[in-house]
Chains A and B, each alone.
Chain A
Amino acid sequence: MMRFIAGRIVYGVFTLWFLATATFFAMHAVPGDPLASEKAVSPEIRRNLEVRYGLDKPLMTQYGIFLGNMIKGDFGISYTQKNRSVNDIIREHFPISAQLGVLALLWATIGGIVFGAVTAYYRNRWPDYVSVVAVIICISVPGFVFAALAQLAIIALNEAVGSDWLPVAGWETGSFRHMLVPSLVLGLGTLAYLTRLMRSSMLEIMEADFVRTAHAKGLGTQRVFWQHQLRNAILPVVTVLGPAIAGITTGGFVVEQVFAIPGLGRYFVQAVQQLDYTVIMGTTVFYGAFLIFLVMMVDILYGVIDPRIRLAPERLRHQGGPI
């Protein structure tokens, strides 16, 4: 067990190092440089700026400095937002993204498990058909379209009811009504995937021998459902929590953009567009570390829950793929 966990951690650290290195060199391959957007400056001032940001040193020295600072948890100062450190940006805006993401993940897991179990239970009857169609639509429609449609729906609803309780966009710290619709939109795709997964896993379990045994020894339908079917069917859902979190994190880029939420995703996209080196590197490494850590935790958790996984590490690796 310890060996398994240690192996996962080494793997995670290695991935993180690769991510940081790739980010660093990717940023330096970009044509143009962060000082190019400044007003025309004299060569002397430009040289001073380069010294200030360490751009005058050889590439490998810069890389060494970057890695050293990263280990210390210091991502430097933003090039475009004066006197704002990357750590400040992350500290200020990540909690917003995290609140939104946790809520979205909550909707997705609860919804996915409930809908999946219900549709499997009502197999080939109308609740099943309705949810199968809903799932395939949710998987096929891009997140930004849902976000836009949700905004239109809010406007229509507010006009019909004659109140503005549900805001169309924007953010207020700790305000649930600002989070409600964006988090639902953000969780929708994952919810659909989890419903599909839960349905097939539930169908498989319903045919299993131990379920028949449970029925045969006279347990009530309720008890078999809760104790034997549901608990076992939830297992595969745990495996996809890693990619689900990744999907919700990147989906946040879009939802934050559409709903004008000042989360970290929006700053990341902005930084990429402005070629703000330090912010891109800091945010990427931060996001990467966050995702790698969570996927690692999910892996370990799954290994703890299901001993078969520890013995067959090949099955453990999650399915990647876009969004």
Chain B
Amino acid sequence: MSTQHYPNDWFAPAPVHAALDLPVLPPESYWQGVWRRLKANRRAFGAAVFLIFVLLFTVFGSVLWPVDPAKQDPGVLSRSFVAARSLPVAMPDHWQAPRLDWAANVPVSGLAAPANLHAVSATSDAVRLVWQPVAGAQHYRIYRREGGGAGRGIPLAVIPASYLGYEDRLDVHAQDYHYTVIADDGLDEAREGAHLMVRPIAVISLLDAQLQGLVPLHVPADIDTLHVDLPMHPLGTDHLGRDMLARLIAGGQTSFFIGFGAPLLYIFIGCLYGAFSSYVGGRVDESMMRFADFVIALPFLLFMILLRVAFGIGAGESGVMALIVAMVLLGWPMSARLVRGQVLQLREQPFVAAARLMGAPSYYLVWRHMIPNVMGVVIVSLTFAIPGAIFTEAFLSFIGMGVVPPIPSWGSLCNDGIQSMLTHPHELLYPAALISMTVLAFNVLGDGLRDALDVNLDVRS
């Protein structure tokens, strides 16, 4: 056994080197560090900027683009772009087709084609055709074909031979129509008919204009050249002629309301539940967690559908609240377990023990150590819960279990769009792209946040 002796100068304070070659970093708090690391992550930062734009788009979009998303523009259905236009108003008038007072009822072999078929007026309100009589005709048959293709198209009418004109009001648009007028002798059609191609000019009928509130209800009778200005649709219209841009904005409001509302609520409830459970501990903790485990084990979407059906939708309700309540009822246990796990882990940390040793009261421990440390994982779980909720809403709206029709959401817009996907893909593509890009951005941001909150990944330390 020997005692070692150390020289006294070993324990003298080291001289201070003024030019100690160590990098001196300014002190920063945990959240300052998180912010710095997040800014350094280009992808996450880009995603955050994109999300802010989408949020501004949905929140202030309806101010900048104050178009009623439920308003129909009947002239333009399922167009991918509609420019602003000024249309003449077609005054209601009762047109009488020219009539023959007397028709020779003599059978003729081989009916001719009606001569001089022409349109006396052609507007998208009505196309008026007249022609010369055909000897021996009993009826005239009128057919109409749209655009390309062959044949006569759809039969419009069979009219008696005493009429020498026809007014077509059957869903006429400003596009090419091929009309065929054929005489028949009471049994068979003539071999030849008269053909005419007409391109009606776009007008709006007085009734439509009045219904849409574009012209006053009392119009002086002598005004013939009344024009109304119809709005442009920069992103086109849907199958009912509603403005896509306005619907995307309104749909975004619904989707974000559900996407933010439900996760914020259930994560808050879950945090309280988990914190309480871990705080009390023992039997209570065990049974509370058993219950949470049990709720997690329930098939999520199956129960979402059930709850959504069970809450029902009363008159004038949108179904948004039912969705949020159902999501909250099923969503809370995940964050409860997360928080409880974190708290249990934190409680064993040396710095908590040290604080307790120094006599810190419980509220101080909770306020100073528990909440800031749990906050990180809660925020990360929130950024992943939001796209999850948007997805769930879209899924339910898609199968017809989400929000109720007059209220659009991105999911229900996709559902509408998929019906006409093959002919008018823009109705599906816009909302689908918005959902996908938003969810993508949230996922990227969540990944970035998770890395930023992890001090161990920091290159600086």
User: CB within 8 Å of B: which residues of A?
Assistant: 11, 14-15, 18-19, 22-23, 25-27, 29-32, 136-137, 139-145, 148, 151-152, 155, 246, 250, 253-254, 257-258, 269, 272-273, 275, 280, 284, 287-288, 291-292, 295, 317-323
Contacts and interface: CB of A to CB of B under 8 A. Distances in A.
B398 A323 contact: no
Nearest to A299: B297
A141 B436 contact: yes
Given A26-B306, A27-B310, A280-B309, A322 B391 contact: yes
Given A31-B312, A253-B399, A320 B432 contact: no
17 contacts: A18-B294, A26-B306, A27-B309, A136-B443, A136-B444, A140-B436, A142-B398, A142-B435, A144-B394, A145-B414, A269-B399, A275-B309, A284-B302, A284-B306, A317-B293, A322-B300, A323-B392
Contacts of A141: 432, 435-436, 439-440
A288 B297 contact: no
Contact of A322 (B392, B399, B425): B392
Interface string B425-452: 1001000100111011001100000000
Contacts of B414: 142, 144-145
Interface string B409-433: 0010011001001100100100010
A273 B312 contact: no
A288 B298 CA distance: 8
A30 B306 CA distance: 10
A58 to B, nearest CB: 19
Number of contact residues on B: which range applies? 35 or more
B392 A155 contact: no
Contacts of B303: 22
Contacts of A18: 294, 298
- Which of B294, B337, B391, B400 has the most A CB atoms < 10 Å from its CB? B391
A22 B306 contact: yes
A287 B304 CA distance: 14
Given A31-B314, A269-B400, A19 B392 contact: no
A321 B421 contact: no
Contacts of B333: 320
A26 B389 contact: no
Nearest to A168: B422
Nearest to B437: A140
Interface in B311-336: 311-312, 314, 333-334
B257 to A, nearest CB: 17
B301 interface: yes
For the residues of B in contact with A, the DSSP-based class is helix
A139 B425 CA distance: 22
For the residues of A in contact with B, the DSSP-based class is helix
Contact of B300 (A145, A152, A320): A320
Nearest to A281: B306
B198 interface: no
Contacts of A152: 421-422, 425
Given A145-B436, A317-B296, A322-B300, A139 B443 contact: yes
A280 to B, nearest CB: 7
Nearest to B431: A145
B174 interface: no
Contacts of B302: 250, 284, 287-288, 291
Contact of B312 (A30, A155, A287, A322): A30
Contacts of B306: 22-23, 26, 280, 284
A320 B296 contact: yes
Contacts of B415: 144
B435 A145 contact: yes
Contacts of A143: 395
A311 to B, nearest CB: 17
Nearest to B398: A144
A254 B395 contact: yes
Interface in B22-79: none
Contacts of A323: 301, 391-392, 395
B387 interface: yes
B158 interface: no
B388 interface: yes
A280 B306 CA distance: 9
Contact of A142 (B294, B310, B422, B432): B432
Interface in B273-306: 293-294, 296-306
A15 B400 contact: no
A295 to B, nearest CB: 7
- Which of B333, B334, B395 has the most A CB atoms < 10 Å from its CB? B395
A26 B299 contact: no
A11 B388 contact: no
B435 A30 contact: no
Given A22-B303, A253-B399, A317-B297, 12 more contacts: A26-B310, A140-B443, A141-B435, A143-B395, A144-B415, A144-B418, A151-B422, A254-B398, A257-B398, A273-B401, A280-B309, A320-B300
B399 A140 contact: no
Nearest to B411: A142
B201 to A, nearest CB: 35
A15 B297 contact: yes
- Which of B337, B399, B444 has the most A CB atoms < 10 Å from its CB? B399
B297 A292 contact: yes
Nearest to A265: B399
B367 to A, nearest CB: 28
B307 interface: yes
Given A22-B306, A26-B309, A142-B395, A322 B297 contact: no
For the complex of A and B, 8 pairs with smallest distance between CB atoms: A26-B310, A140-B440, A250-B301, A322-B392, A145-B432, A140-B439, A141-B436, A29-B310
Contacts of A272: 305, 309, 401
A155 B422 CA distance: 9
A236 to B, nearest CB: 18
Contacts of B421: 148, 151-152
B278 to A, nearest CB: 13
B298 A19 contact: yes
A30 B309 contact: yes
A145 B414 CA distance: 8
A142 B391 contact: yes
A22 B79 CA distance: 46
Contacts of B293: 317
Contacts of B312: 29-32
Interface in B375-410: 387-389, 391-392, 394-395, 398-401
